[in-house]
Structure 1
Amino acid sequence: MYVYDEYDRQILKERVAQFRHQTERALRGELEEHEFLPLRLQNGLYVQRFAPMLRMAIPYGMLRSRQLRRLAEVTRDFDKGYAHFTTRQNLQLNWPAVEDVPDVLEALSEVEMHANQTSGNCIRNTTTDQFAGVQKDEIVDPRPYCELIRQWSTYHPEFAFLPRKFKIAVNASPSTDRAAVQVHDIGLELHRNDAGELGFRVYVGGGLGRTPMVGPVIREFIPEQDMLTYLEAILRVYNRYGRRDNKFKARIKILVKATTPEKFAELVEAEWEQIRNTPTRLTPEAIEQMKGFFTEPDYEDLEDNPPALTEALSASKAFSNWHTRNVSEHKKPGYAIVTLTLKQTGVPTGDVSDRQLEAIADLADEYSFGEVRVTHEQNVVLADVRQDRLQELWEALRPLGFATANLGTLTDMICCPGGDFCALANAKSIPVAEAIQREFDDLDFLYDLGDIDLNISGCMNACGHHHVGNIGVLGVDKKGQEFYQISLGGSSRRDASVGKILGPSFAREDMPTVVKDIIQVYVDHRTEEETFLDTYRRIGMSPFKERVYA
């Protein structure tokens, strides 16, 4: 992981002091709310339905065990003892007092953490694949590039007040896309050109919210040394031409669509020609220096698939199920990637208590070189677990609620906090998620269904990414009553697509039955090798509509 130097620490120290002063002035009435608003937002502080909310940054999803313990402390000391992992690999406190936030930020700064630019019309937390650095088919480790983007974008004076919020994701796996690069404002995909040179395919103009879009490719290859100057060119074009008169049309996706991807690419290329050789251009030395922070841990020479593991898998169906769903292949023989699912029925998706955060820190120290990763799907990863300790780890996870063997299934859903917390929400999300989980509580049936992404959002802002769920659920308001609209056919993977609306919305109590009917159509029509998405794309919407509205 990247390690802060004195320059980094000084910046954080000054930022905390600055925000403490701004907060004190606001509390004394010396700053009007409209003046304090942009200041608090760029320090991660929202005002939600019942209380403030503080969003703490976890750059590209990486955490050390000591940072987890500090997060546990602030969750316990400044909140109600639990926090919430988000789809941007961040962590949110839902009940902090405004006057305490500077103290929280100071505590975070002591362990190289912050809440900088986790909100506001600026460049947000850059995200990537939670398996970065340990997956077999990776082109290169994308995390050094994410850190370079973080350092370049943080406090960038030109991009502090963009027309709208801005999100960047990076992927380096040729076989899959766990970073959802095609539904970001900018998506960067590492690959090599015909000459073997390393660079990026650049997607621009993806995004969800009120107008969901899959981002088009505007450049097939940009050399790695030109990454930051090309990003700067894109942001300059957006800053110049993006709409500021209407927040619903202010995202870069609207600009790309209005100008056409081809014309937008021309504007970016023209801008880039003016700045491509400025000091922002990366040198090979700068790239190698950053890569030096992301070295491999002290792996041992281990036997792959040891006999003891094979015996344990044969002896326990529960352990075997967990191993099949929650354990992934590692690039090093004898090691495995383990995903801890935060999707136990009865617990809000992504929620974690202070005690659980401390337990994860202990697990990281014991089993995974003291590091964890947060996932886009609101789970947690131990990336470097010895295969001969997998059963031991599984036994440790069970009493903590992290061993639910449902990764990738219908009940491993993405879900925003919804109307229970968010002032923008039209409807609650958490009770709907729990009702669906209880309806589908048979793991054998879930395994038979295969991988299905079910995503739930409480409003059109789409924090739950409902547009790209194979099954998407959107909370809507009907004359003061909570209803839910269903969409089908979305995907955030390499075959990215925006789901289509099934039809009129449903009452909350009907949702488990509606999802059950949708699943039954899939079961009735699928072929042996088809996923839910495959079947939907083959048979279309009509059979689902006929069954649900019969």
Structure 2
Amino acid sequence: MMQLFIFFSLSCMCRSLQMSDPRTGISYLPKTTVDRINVEGNKIEKTKLEKDPSKAWTDLYEYAAAIRSETLTWEELEAGDANIRLKWCGLLSRFKKVPGTFMMRLRKPNGILRSDALRLYADALEDAAITVGQETAVADITTRQNLQLRGLTLDQAADLIAKLPDVNVTCHQSAMDNVRNIVGSPLAGIDQDELLDTRPYCNALNDLITIDPDTNKRGNPKWGNLPRKFNIAVSSSPADYAHAKINDLAFEAATHNDGNLGFNVVVGGYFSARRSTHAIDLGLWIPASVSNVLDVSTAILEIFRDEGFRGDRQKARFMWLVEACGGADAFKLKLLEKLKNEFSQFPIDQVDTHQNVANNAVSIDRKPMIGVFPQQSQSLSRVGMHVPVGRLSLEELRALADAAEQHSGSELRLTVEQNVIFPNVKNPHALIEQLGISASRLSATPGPVSGNTVSCTGSQFCPLAIIETKAFATRISQRLDDALGMPLRLHVTGCPNSCGQVQMADIGLMGAPARRIDPETGKAKAVPGCNVFLGGTIGHNSKLSLEPVLKGLPIDDEDELVGALIDLIEKEKLQATAV
């Protein structure tokens, strides 16, 4: 009887401990990984060990309450919280640029938004604008089909995060060493040539990453301590509207020779200051099912989490681990062994492990994103609207919400080119006319270069940027519209981290040091400048332009800059590629 009582007491104690002490990101790491971090881990890894970033999911509300009660100021936030751990809540401090404020990076798989979410964001930005002004309280569409909200104080951010579940959105685990927003085709379900609809895959992957299976709440500690950021994309066809090959992991839809639909698996694409690389084919095809995609993603993420490098952060992205394993073939064998041994439901006997599957019978031509185009149902159209360099005011967010409610069933979609698509529209011309009044900067017929221009945040808000990018990219693209008259993709990025993805553009401008002779002194002086990349491609045969054709080109004289770019384009015989 006494033994039974002791057993019952211990069982109750264990359950109590489990309830009061939920798992953290550190608790999922093998001891060998923790030991490696203690010995060779960089400063950020040590900070993550000192206090698990998952603590931020509750600390956020305590800090916000303290700020409201004036018992804490933003200056008093511990640096590890303000600059690292709060990023697990999607909050990036922008204290150097706009003191006391954060940028909130949201998550919306496949870039699909609802009008109620846009209204919620606009309301939050309106509150922020009281303090920072409307030029700072803005939203930016990202190159991952996502939105970033700027100018929020910590208490404003906490209030917004508490409301996000009401509009089926989260911002958990959207920054730093986490799996970022899951990218899919913006034409999912409405493209006549798609092999499959990417939406269920993107939604399932987002839930895998962000929902804690123990609590069924957002914030999943299982993936809360990765060595570095990790990008995943799901592509619907060889036209590749998701830009699969620049992701750490991508699933490319492909029909096998036996007629079955599935995915080719590619790994290792990324941009960084040290190195940028195109993804490589694993030579692995898997049958198309959500469970198969989740199993492969889980297996790869576990390998990356447990074995990835924790020392030099410039050598910690997933491709470095793939190469350390011996390359694509060796990593594929490692992955297949893990799937066979640990994932009992995975159909290991149905995969093709010899080569990636070709899609010879499928159209590889990319469709234009901007303008009016028929859908599978000829009575409905999709309407793509150009958003100059992805920047939206709070009034424009509300205008988009109004238009979506009246014309596209309250739905709109974001593209990786930082633009907006309204699906399932019955009267496209009425929609365009409405936005022409309420959001006149947006256009269905932009210029041939400005309509294909992508820009990172730039020095206005980003502490890493060398140059200002948004307004600069707008001016240069408009001048190239007039000078060239042909569609070219212009990407502008503020620093070598290449958030603006210049290596995949027809014309890429990367912020860089430059010098110009001072006419008064005859000496060289430092001026804003850029490195110029030419000839990157997207789609079925995508490739990156990894080396600049020109370094240190001054940008302070824009007449001179535009002339130099035109000369380079003519010299390199650059052809129109944008669609």
TM-score, length of structure 2 as denominator length:
0.74
Task: Give the drift of 1:22.
Answer: 5.3
Q: Secondary structure at the match of 2:197?
A: coil
Residue aligning to 2:62? 21
- 1:165-209 Cα distance to aligned partner (Å, 9 max, x none): 1110111123x1111100001111122222332321111000112
Residue aligning to 2:513? 477
Alignment of 1:196-345 (within 5 A): 196-210=259-273, 211-223=275-287, 224=289, 225-258=291-324, 259-277=326-344, 326-343=371-388
Residue aligning to 2:401? 361
Decide whether the 8 Å contact of 2:533 with 2:549 is kept in 1: yes
Q: 1:474 to 1:165 in 2, by over 3 A?
A: same
Of residues 460-469 and 233-242 in structure 1, the stretch that sits farther from structure 2 once superposed is 233-242
CA–CA separation in structure 2 for the residues paired with 1:40 and 1:64? 26
**Of 534, 537, 556, the match for 1:488:** 534
CA–CA separation in structure 1 for the residues paired with 2:421 and 2:472? 26
Task: Give the drift of 1:339.
Answer: 0.8
Q: Secondary structure at the match of 1:422?
A: coil
> Given residue 505 of structure 1, which amino acid in structure 2 is its aligned partner?
G
Residue aligning to 1:295? none
CA–CA separation in structure 1 for the residues paired with 2:393 and 2:481? 23
Residue aligning to 1:430? 470
**Of 445, 452, 456, the match for 1:405:** 445
CA–CA separation in structure 2 for the residues paired with 1:20 and 1:106? 9
- 1:138-160 Cα distance to aligned partner (Å, 9 max, x none): 11211001111111111443321
Decide whether the 8 Å contact of 1:63 with 1:371 is kept in 2: yes
**Of 382, 395, 408, the match for 2:433:** 395
Task: Give the drift of 1:432.
Answer: 2.4
Task: Give the drift of 1:101.
Answer: 1.4
Task: Give the drift of 1:392.
Answer: 2.2
> Given residue 500 of structure 2, which amino acid in structure 1 is its aligned partner?
G
Q: 1:325 to 1:234 in 2, by over 3 A?
A: closer
Q: Secondary structure at the match of 1:418?
A: coil
Q: 1:383 to 1:246 in 2, by over 3 A?
A: same
CA–CA separation in structure 2 for the residues paired with 1:233 and 1:504? 41
Alignment of 1:99-248 (within 5 A): 99-154=155-210, 155-174=219-238, 176-210=239-273, 211-223=275-287, 224=289, 225-248=291-314
- 1:419-461 Cα distance to aligned partner (Å, 9 max, x none): 111011122112421330342353xx66x413x1111110111
Task: Give the drift of 1:501.
Answer: 0.7
RMSD: 2.9
Q: Secondary structure at the match of 2:285?
A: strand
Task: Give the drift of 1:36.
Answer: 5.2
- 1:16-44 Cα distance to aligned partner (Å, 9 max, x none): 65631255579749973224544310111
Whether 1:68 aligns to 2:112 is: no
CA–CA separation in structure 1 for the residues paired with 2:128 and 2:165? 16
**Identity across matched positions, percent:** 27
**Of 402, 415, 418, the match for 2:455:** 415
Q: 1:355 to 1:431 in 2, by over 3 A?
A: closer
> Given residue 460 of structure 1, which amino acid in structure 2 is its aligned partner?
P
Decide whether the 8 Å contact of 2:432 with 2:444 is kept in 1: no
Residue aligning to 2:552? 505
Q: Secondary structure at the match of 1:202?
A: strand
CA–CA separation in structure 1 for the residues paired with 2:322 and 2:128? 42
Aligned residues: 466
CA–CA separation in structure 2 for the residues paired with 1:427 and 1:510? 14
> Given residue 71 of structure 1, which amino acid in structure 2 is its aligned partner?
Y
TM-score, length of structure 1 as denominator length:
0.78
Task: Give the drift of 1:410.
Answer: 4.8
Q: 1:64 to 1:341 in 2, by over 3 A?
A: same
Decide whether the 8 Å contact of 1:230 with 1:276 is kept in 2: no
Decide whether the 8 Å contact of 2:536 with 2:542 is kept in 1: yes
Whether 1:382 aligns to 2:422 is: yes
Q: 1:172 to 1:441 in 2, by over 3 A?
A: closer
Q: Secondary structure at the match of 1:531?
A: coil
Q: 1:277 to 1:156 in 2, by over 3 A?
A: farther
Decide whether the 8 Å contact of 1:233 with 1:269 is kept in 2: no
Decide whether the 8 Å contact of 2:90 with 2:175 is kept in 1: yes
> Given residue 459 of structure 1, which amino acid in structure 2 is its aligned partner?
C
Q: Secondary structure at the match of 2:430?
A: helix
Q: Larger C-alpha radius of gyration, 1 or 2?
A: 2
Residue aligning to 1:46? 92
Q: 1:106 to 1:487 in 2, by over 3 A?
A: same
Residue aligning to 1:371? 411
Structure 2, gaps ≥5 residues long: 1-54, 211-218, 349-367, 515-524
**Of 45, 55, 68, the match for 2:105:** 55
Q: 1:366 to 1:35 in 2, by over 3 A?
A: closer
Decide whether the 8 Å contact of 1:456 with 1:472 is kept in 2: yes
- 1:213-242 Cα distance to aligned partner (Å, 9 max, x none): 110111431122421111112112222332
Q: Secondary structure at the match of 1:475?
A: strand
> Given residue 110 of structure 1, which amino acid in structure 2 is its aligned partner?
D
Task: Give the drift of 1:511.
Answer: 4.9
CA–CA separation in structure 2 for the residues paired with 1:229 and 1:524? 49
Decide whether the 8 Å contact of 2:173 with 2:179 is kept in 1: yes
> Given residue 273 of structure 1, which amino acid in structure 2 is its aligned partner?
K
Of residues 17-26 and 361-370 in structure 1, the stretch that sits farther from structure 2 once superposed is 17-26
Decide whether the 8 Å contact of 2:92 with 2:104 is kept in 1: yes
Q: Secondary structure at the match of 2:513?
A: strand
Q: 1:23 to 1:266 in 2, by over 3 A?
A: farther
Residue aligning to 1:306? none
